[in-house]
Amino acid sequence: MQQSQANPPATTTAVSTAPTPEVSFFSVDYINSVSGSAGPRGAQAAVLFKIQETLTIIDIGPLTNSNTEQTFAVESQNGDNVALGFTLRTAIRSLGTYDGVNLSSATVTFQDLDFTSQV
């Protein structure tokens, strides 16, 4: 007898990418352009290492807004994203001026994944 396949409900609010159970998104606003410091020992790499001390990065978006902002997808910590944002901001700001880029005013903003648009 053939068994029917059961599909999971399509109404979940959790974002899921196998094998990661949940994904969170946040943007780092470097305030200053980091395009001139994008090498393996540059400011952009230093920020990536700071983020990886706390979170597992799944994907990294391109630099946007005149090379001052970047969006990250990370494994969700199922916790308070506001507190985590402050922790990341403090860690990034602690780099100070790194490879000629002042990171002491950088900000971190967690975001909901929202594909809605007005037509």
> What 3-state class would DSSP assign to 28?
strand
Say if domain 23-111 classifies as CATH 3.20.20.70. Answer: no
What pLDDT was estimated at residue 19?
A: 63
The string of pLDDT tens digits covering residues 30-40 is 999 999 998 88
What pLDDT was estimated at residue 38?
A: 84
What pLDDT was estimated at residue 60?
A: 93
Give which of 93, 88, 71 is closest to 25, Cα–Cα: 71
Widest Cα–Cα separation across the chain? 69
